[in-house]
Structure 1
Amino acid sequence: MGSAVMDGNQGIPADEIRPDEKANKLKVDNLNIENLLLRDEDIFQTSLNSEDYLDSLAPIIKDALNKNELSGLIHKLNEIVQNKDEELSDLSLNSTQYINSCINRIDSIQVESYELNRNLQQVSQYLNRSVMELVAKKKNLIKNKELSSKIEETTVVLNLCISVLEITNRIHDLIKQHKYFSALKLIDELTNIHLPKVENFSFAIKIYDSVPLLTKMIKEDSFENLSKWLSVNVERKLHAIGEALFDNLYTLQKHWTSMKRNKDSLSCYIPHKLNSPVEVSMRDPTLNYNIFEDKALQINLSTVYDAILVYQTLNEEELLSKLYHKEWLKKYNRVIYPITTTVTTNTKTSDDANIASFANFPSLEEYLKKIAAFFVADKQINLSAKFQIRSNSNSNDLWESYSPKLKQALLKYVQTHEFDLDGIIKFKDLVGNFLQVIENNGFKILELYEILMILFQQYFAPEIMKQFRLDFNESIQSDHYMPLIIEDRKDYENVMKVCWYRNDAPFSPAKLRQLPVTFPFSEDYVHYCLGIRSLLEETIQFISEHYSHNSYEIVNIVVNEIFERVLGPETGIGISNDIKEFITKNQTNKEVVSQSYTNLEYYLFSLYEVGKLINRRLRSNLGLGVNNMDSDGSVTLKAVTYFTDLRKFAEDVIFKMVDNKIRELLDMVDYDDWLPTTVNKEASFYIKDFALYLENLFSSIFSNLPSSFKTLGLFRSYDFVAEHFLNILKDVDRYNRNAIENFDLDVSYLEDSMSKLHSTQNVSSEGDGTGGAVALESTFTELRQCINLLKLDNYDQFTKNPQFRMRTFDRIKFEDGLKLISKMEQDQDELDPNVSLNEDSMNSSVLSLDSQAQSNFSNTASAKFAKFSSKFRKRQDPENL
């Protein structure tokens, strides 16, 4: 359509530029000129194509006038006008072509408009049909919405009904799953929330009517489930629970023993037993056994809690408590069999036939473990349930009603079974462990604790005393009754550890210089010391764990019914009686009797140490010692008196044996010639034999006896001999001086023998070392004075001189002297016709004076012996040993 006029700035062909675009371009060019004009003068900007063009141009012109640049401005304006005219000419030429093209386009638009109109008519027809269809569909839609609304309402109701049915089914499922509290909560939800929404339906009414029955079923089933839970988790697991309880008790015992041994600060707590307040306060809480925390048992308390919640929800806790108590009593009656047979029997009047019995120890052990498990489970279930179903007093009352029955059964078991010492200890441990388990869980055990006291007093004490006595009798029967000789250092140390002795004994470690060492006592004393220590330790061991009550009674049993009796004089029980019988049986055996006397000295000393040892061991184990303590803190057992008497008895047996032997020897001495014609040059052979036998007798009997006892023995023996020879002299009818000389020779030989025997026996003397010898010599004083009297050349000094008589013959009564003198045959040249020796011829006043003086100064050998014996006994008093 002609050559395209290109715009200088945009490069667009001129024939393609529309008129409005050209006008705009003109305005832009004018604006550029204006800007160009104003740029040089820095004049404000204005729009040249605006209505206020002239107003805007005036300041420009004014400014140019002021600067004398008006010509330049006019020149520029002319240029602008010229350029605009040229642009306008070009635009006019181009507009023709543009108009032609517009006409062509209008023609085409008309054609297109026609087509468009035809299409619009078609669309209008289509829209008309669509509107009709839409109206019909809208009507249908409205109908459908109404129907849908009804369907939705029906759906909601159906869903509610379905929900009710589902909840109902869920309730039944929960009941089958034994989740009764959850079922009860769903019933409450169903009744209060869901059923009111569908209350017009008949099935809802039926469901609502079934709620009480359903609730009752839940209540009954929950308790029935609880009963089954008791059977399965408690009754059937009692054996396992019992074993676990006893195992836990062993752990507690071991822990407490370890604490007392390992901590010095706990030394004062040693007497306290398991379950004592001190032990409980110091116990590690993690050691306490809880049935429901034992993973091996796998006992879940959810059933118990579920039942409690169900009955609490229904406000029927009291009913649950009654039902549970009744059910627990059923379990109790089954568990306590065979004691069940004695439930209705009065235990105070029942005979043995009505008391339950156990065939053997294993059956009793299993039963006690089961009982312990039952009562502990009762306490722990109640504690876990916070005593909602059964109170603590209910458990305690049940136990207290059961204890007397079990006590009778245990007593019958003890009475109907034979026990050795091991059996007694085994039974004690079983019953003691049982009681400790029970006590550890808060039950009272004093009723059954009497079983332990009876077992200790009536069974253990006699049995251990019996064994001690048997061992002791075997020891005294097998003893060689010779002083014990030890050659080995270790053996010596063992004897020193076992035996009691004085610190100043010559065989004590402080005074020992070398081995071998000879002890005064025999093996019998060593066995006795060992037996006494073992007796005490076994007794303490027996009461060390389970005897935590009745401490005073226990001390009394240990001291008075074990040691006092076993050391006492009771026949068949006390060893002092056994020793006495043994000495009596062997009273003719000088070795046995003399060594027994020596042993008794150490027995007697040991009793003081035994009393102290018993007191220490009892205090360390029970915290309570012997009551009858002396002011110095020592303990004097009654057995001290028994053994003191026993030693006196052994002393009498020794003296009796010596007296019998001396009597036998004296019977061999025969004085039949009292009128000899010659005087012997030496003592008679039977006197020498008698002195030799007597010396051998004392050497064998008194060799190992205390020196004080030797002195007393010699004193008694020679006093007996002196009295015998004095009686011989007094019983003779007639004798002459030769007989008296011979008799004097024999008596002198006996006196020398006595002195020699005194020195060889190492007899210690009283006082300054001469009192013993003087006392021994005094035994022959009366006999010696009688002989010396008869040997006088003139008897007038005796009969007529009281001072001489009292000074020289103080041991002879005047009338006895006259009798002796009267028996003497005298030669004719010795007779004095002026003197009569008949008692009737004596002056009565002289006789009276002499008798009075003699009574004042006379001291018989018996009185002398009595004083010496009293002095000896005082020295040998146990308090001075």
Structure 2
Amino acid sequence: MEQEVLLSQEFQKVLLASEPKKKSISSSISSTQDEHGKSNITNGVDFGTQDDAFELDPQSFDKWVPFLRNAVENDQLNAIIQELDTSIDDNFQGLELQLLQDSQINDKLESSVNEISNIQNTIDSSLSKGMAELQEQLSQTTNDLIVKKQIFVNNKKTSMKISEAIILITKVIRILSLSSKCQELIVEGNFFKALQNLDNLEKLYLQEFRNYNFQFLKEIYESIPYLKSVTKDECLNLIRNSLNSNLGKNLTTVGEKFITTYQSDLLIDWMEKKKSMNLESFKFNSPVEISMRDQTILQTLNLDNFFHIEEFYDSIMIFQSLNELDYLFTEFSKEYEFRKSKIIYPLLWKRTSNSKTNVIPGDISTDTFTKQMNMTFLKEYLWKILGFLLYDINLHKSTDFVLVDNNYNATNDFWDGLMSRLLPYIRHFIRTGLTTDKDWIEFKDFLCIYVAILENYKLNIEPLYSILILLFESYCDISIKAFDDEFEILLNDDDFMPLTINDKSLFEKVAQICWMKDDENIKPTIDNENTGEFMVTLPFSPLYPMTCTLTKKTYSKLSSFVTIFYRHQLHTLNKLMVKTIDRIFTDVVNKKIRSKLESTSREEIAQILINLDYFIIAAKSFSKFMTRDNLMQNPDIEIKLSSIKNYSESRKLAETKLINLIDSKVSDIMETVDLDWTSNTIRQDPDISIVDLAQFLEMMFASTLVNLPYSVQILLIFREFDSLTKRFLDILLHDTPDLITKISILNFEVDIKYLEGIIPKIFPNHDGSGNMDFVETSSNFPTPMTPMSPTFNHSSEKHSPELIENNVKSLEETFIELKQYIDLLKSDNLAEYMMDPEVRNRKYPRVKFDNANLLIHKIEKSQNLLDSANTDDQADDNSSVFTRDFIGNNSSSSKIAKFFNRR
């Protein structure tokens, strides 16, 4: 309907737009004719032969043709005619009246009616004929169309079946292709892709061919489990082949490569940086050293460069997709355990019931591993173990620890288990396999580098580090043994004489090597620049500087042993270091020097005492040095060697030994002293035995004791003079006969003054008043000449005259008691002492009354016997009675005194 309306509207516009060729009538009529002309055109009349005003333009009529054709084709011709009529009614209203009024037009209209009727008939017949032909053509066309449509439908069904067949064939071909591809991938070893293809093959069959009865496809489908099984088996074979290639001889190569790179590249590079950057306090493999490592060197140690484990990635993904990881773990664990056993052979990974059943528990000397063990074998074995540890770390880390069921400590577990078996063998090797210093250092460096690598890869270093501690402890033991051997030679070669040096450079070296007293200032005694002569005498013997050198050398050797690598348990190492130095000083030096105290040579004992005095200084100085240089680098640590106490005890023993030897010699000389207590002749010179005794004392202090420390010299001098005066007092009190003459007392005084006279000569240039000029002693008797004056070591430099004066006075006081006894016995008024206590306390405070009474009786008895020659018999009898009583009492007192004062 809409199409009709549109057609009508368009057609009316065309009608209204048409113009007649002639416009002889008025515009209104022209307009009407134009509209009427449209109607004529609509009726299909050709006005070209009309000679009137309504003749239409052929071009305008041509515009009607499309509309008319369209109306005919659509069977709407009646609608067009109706439309034309309507258009005439609408557009020519009022025109009829005008036309009727125009006669000419009326005439033409009348003549046109017939023509129009004819035209209509012609059109009707033409249209009927055309419609018949059209109907016939339409019927034919419809029949042709039906036939062709039937053919098309049949062809379409065939085409669909062909398409379905093509799709089915394509899917079959895909299954066959997948099956073939799976087999190819399995043969090529690309198992993960093979498994993916098998999954696709299975899915495709189940989705597309489950309901088809294709036998060959069913066989392909049924072969999928077998192919998966083959894939699993081949994966395991690939794993075995990978283990074969990675866990073969290349493990030793990898371990050696790491050790060599660390030792030859990283360590040397660090030592250079350490020296140039003043980093002495930092050790190898410390955080500072690690942060400064050359990355290009570390690149060469990338584990991916040594081990290829791609097979494990596919295998894990394959078994994971098959949901059979447990099976993979089980098979892998079996194979891996077998490989571990082969790697650690000849060490047994798991001891079986038939392996070495005859080996004594704890005895590994007959073990197969022990029989093969030497430096080369052990290094190669540990290279292999290191290579395996690195492989194990790389494998588990790269596979996210899937193969060990997320046990992140798997490598450490293996390492700890291996070390529990290996440690006894390494200890045995340390005890028996290392012989030279070179072997010890080589093995120590190897193990320290080994520990550094383990530490860098987060493996447990405690077991192997305990071996390093043991290694250092054993190295300390052999160092002590080496020190002992060399010290034994030095001790046997020592002359136990002060060290005299004639070479200035040698003296400077000795002064630098030896620990000296803080206030000691040793200078050459002769230094003639013109002649170039040089000489200096040091208090100690050659043993001391040689021992200092040997001790420093040993300490330096021990220190360098642990300085570069040892970073842990520093307190233990420090204790071992202190213990070693203490053992060197105590068990070797002190013990062997102490054994020399069995000597009977005073000179040797004196020199040992001097040496011990310096060894005490050495031990104290070494304690301070080790405190500053302690391995823990802790300034709060204070180290004090116990050898200081041991040296001090040996020094006291040496003093006692020297005193005993001197006492023994004095006793021997005293045995030769034979004083005449009944003499009536006054001597001007001392007794020859007294002279011998004085010469011995003077020579001893001038030679034997000259180099002793001043305090020791004073101690010995006081000790000897005190002992000497006590001996003579003992002789006076207990070894004198019952009768003593005053003349013998005077002679005894000469002897005692002679002995007292050697005191100032012990101290050179002493005048008895504090001045440093020598004067005659209080005795007027000559003193014996000696080869050299006794001197104290650097006494003139170190000790003031006041101190020397005090020492002289103190020595002279040792004779006071003896001199008081002599003065008492010389006195002409003995009764005054016996009767007057005030006189006793004032003149003779140190004289004991009982001893004085005994001696007075001896003097009086002698005096009475002398006077009896001029008296009568009665007086003689009375005197004899008194004498008998006195002698009886005196004899009893003498026996008691001798019992309690036996020498």
Check whether TM > 0.5: yes
The unaligned stretches of length 5 or more in structure 1 are 1-145, 630-634, 842-861, 863-881
The one-letter amino acid paired with 1:680 is: R
Once the two structures are TM-superposed, the CA of residue 545 in structure 1 deviates from its matched residue by 4.3
For 1:552-571, what aligned pairs fall within 5 Å after superposition? 552-559=571-578, 561-568=579-586
Using the alignment, how far apart are the partners of 1:465 and 1:242 within structure 2?
35
Deviation, 1:255, is: 4.1
Of 525, 528, 552, 1:533 maps to: 552
d(CA) in 2 for partners of 1:837, 1:466 = 78
Instruction: Select the residue among 799, 803, 809 that pairs with 1:774.
Output: 809
Q: 1:625 to 1:327 in 2, by over 3 A?
A: farther
- Describe the shift of the 1:795–1:532 C-alpha distance in structure 2 as closer, same or farther (beyond 3 A): same
Q: How does 1:216-295 map to 2 (within 5 A)?
A: 216-250=229-263, 251-264=265-278, 266=279, 270=282, 272=283, 274=285, 276=286, 279-280=289-290, 283=293, 287-288=297-298, 293=303, 295=305
Separation in 2, partners of 1:170, 1:287 = 45
Moved more, 725-734 or 350-359: 350-359
The change in CA–CA distance for 1:583 and 1:831 in structure 2 (over 3 A counts) is farther
* Contact persistence 1:555–1:625 (CA under 8 A): no
Asked if the contact 1:691–1:753 (Cα under 8 Å) also holds between the matched residues in 2, the reply is yes
1:761 matched to which residue of 2?
790
Equivalences, count: 677
Kept after mapping to 1: 8 A contact 2:175/2:204: no
1:93-172 matches, cutoff 5 A? 165=176, 167-172=178-183
Q: Is 1:785 paired with 2:820?
A: yes
- Give the SS at the match of 1:622: coil
Corresponding residue for residue 615 of structure 2: 603
Match for 1:567: what amino acid? Answer: F
Give the residue type in structure 2 aligned to 1:326.
K
Kindly state the Cα deviation for residue 616 of structure 1 after the two structures are TM-superposed.
2.6
Q: Match for 1:549 among 568, 588, 592?
A: 568
Pick from 661, 676, 679 the counterpart of residue 679 of structure 2: 676
Q: What is the SS of the residue equivalent to 2:258?
A: helix
Q: Report the equivalent of 1:49.
A: none
**What's the CA shift for 1:480?**
2.1
When residues 647 and 558 of structure 1 are mapped into structure 2, their CA distance, relative to the original with a 3 A threshold, is same
Which position in structure 1 is the counterpart of 2:457? Answer: 441
Change (3 A) 1:513 1:445: farther
The answer to whether structure 1 residue 594 and structure 2 residue 610 are counterparts is no
For structure 2, which runs of at least 5 residues remain unmatched after alignment?
Answer: 1-156, 765-788, 887-900
Q: 1:153 to 1:830 in 2, by over 3 A?
A: farther
TM-score (norm 1): 0.69
Aligned counterparts of 1:397 and 1:712: Cα–Cα separation in 2: 69
* Whole-Å separation in 1 of the counterparts to 2:649 and 2:511: 27
Letter of the aligned partner of 1:470 in structure 2?
Answer: D
For the residue of structure 2 that corresponds to 1:518, the secondary structure is strand
Question: Percent same amino acid among aligned pairs?
Answer: 28
Matched with 2:648 is 644
Tell me whether 391-400 or 651-660 shows the greater mean CA deviation.
Answer: 391-400
**Of residues 186, 189, 197 in structure 2, which corresponds to 1:178?**
189
Match of 1:360 in 2: 373
1:306 and 1:286 map into 2 onto residues whose CA distance is 32
Cα distance in 1 between the residues matched to 2:570 and 2:505: 39
Measured after TM superposition, the shift of residue 533 of structure 1 is 1.5
Matched residue type, 2:277? K
Q: Which residue of 2 aligns with 1:208?
A: 221
1:395 aligns with 2:434: no
Letter in 2 for 1:596: I
TM-score by length of 2: 0.67
Q: SS where residue 444 of structure 1 aligns?
A: coil
Whether the 8 Å contact between 2:571 and 2:632 is mirrored in structure 1 is no
Give the one of 797, 808, 829 matched to 2:832: 797
- The alpha carbon displacement at 1:378 in A equals 0.3
C-alpha contact 1:583 1:593 (8 A) present in aligned 2: yes
Say whether 1:808 aligns with 2:819.
no
Question: Match of 1:661, as an amino acid?
Answer: K
What SS class does the counterpart of residue 567 from structure 1 fall into? helix
Structure 1 residue 154: deviation in Å? 8.9
CA distance in 1, matches of 2:303, 2:432: 40
Deviates more, 1:430-439 or 1:713-722: 430-439
Alignment check: 8 A CA contact 1:355 1:409 kept: no
- What is aligned with 1:623? 633
The DSSP-based 3-state class of the residue aligned with 2:328 is helix
Alpha-carbon distance change, 149 to 294 in structure 1, aligned in 2, over 3 angstroms? closer
Equivalent of 1:686, from 681, 685, 689?
689
- Give the conservation status (yes or no) of the 8 Å contact 1:590–1:700: no
Q: CA deviation at 1:670?
A: 2.4
Task: Give the letter aligned to residue 739 of structure 1.
Answer: S
1:306 aligns with 2:314: yes
Report if the CA contact (8 A) 2:659-2:716 is conserved: yes
Query: Matched residues in 2 for 1:839 and 1:521: separation?
Result: 62
- The answer as to whether partners of 2:702 and 2:791 remain within 8 angstroms in 1 is no
Q: Which amino acid aligns with 2:677?
A: W
Instruction: Report Cα offsets for 1:340-378 as digits up to 9, x if no partner.
Output: 265469999943259763233222222222112112210
Secondary structure class of the residue paired with 2:369? coil
Task: Return the alpha-carbon distance in structure 2 between the equivalents of residues 837 and 564 of structure 1.
Answer: 72
Summarize deviations over 1:436-462 as a string: whole Å, max 9, x none. 3323221112234333333333x2232
AA at the equivalent of 2:470: I
Aligned-residue RMSD, C-alpha:
4.0
- Bigger mean CA deviation after superposition, 492-501 or 421-430: 421-430
Q: Helix, strand or coil for the counterpart of 2:572?
A: helix
Report the Cα offset of residue 718 of structure 1. Answer: 2.1
Q: Which amino acid aligns with 1:403?
A: M
CA distance in 2 between counterparts of 1:411 and 1:742 reads 80
Offset, 1:165: 4.7
- Give the AA of the match of 2:337: L
Q: How far apart, in 1, do the equivalents of 2:691 and 2:332 lie? A: 104
TM-superposition CA deviations, 1:823-850 (whole Å, max 9, x none)? 1221329999999998999xxxxxxxxx
Q: Is the 8 Å Cα contact of residues 352 and 412 (structure 1) preserved in structure 2?
A: no
SS of the residue aligned with 1:352? coil
1:706 and 2:706 aligned: no
Question: d(CA) in 1 for partners of 2:298 and 2:760?
Answer: 82
Q: Does 1:329 align with 2:337?
A: yes
Q: Aligned partners of 1:310 and 1:292: how far apart in 2?
A: 28
Residue 725 of structure 1 is aligned with which of 717, 723, 728?
728
The separation in 2 between residues aligned to 1:808 and 1:818, in whole angstroms, is 15
- Deviation per CA, 1:754-779: give whole Å up to 9, x if none: 33234343456785442100111122
Q: 1:441 to 1:743 in 2, by over 3 A?
A: same
Corresponding residue to 1:476 among 480, 491, 502? 491
CA change 1:410–1:708 in 2 (3 A) is closer
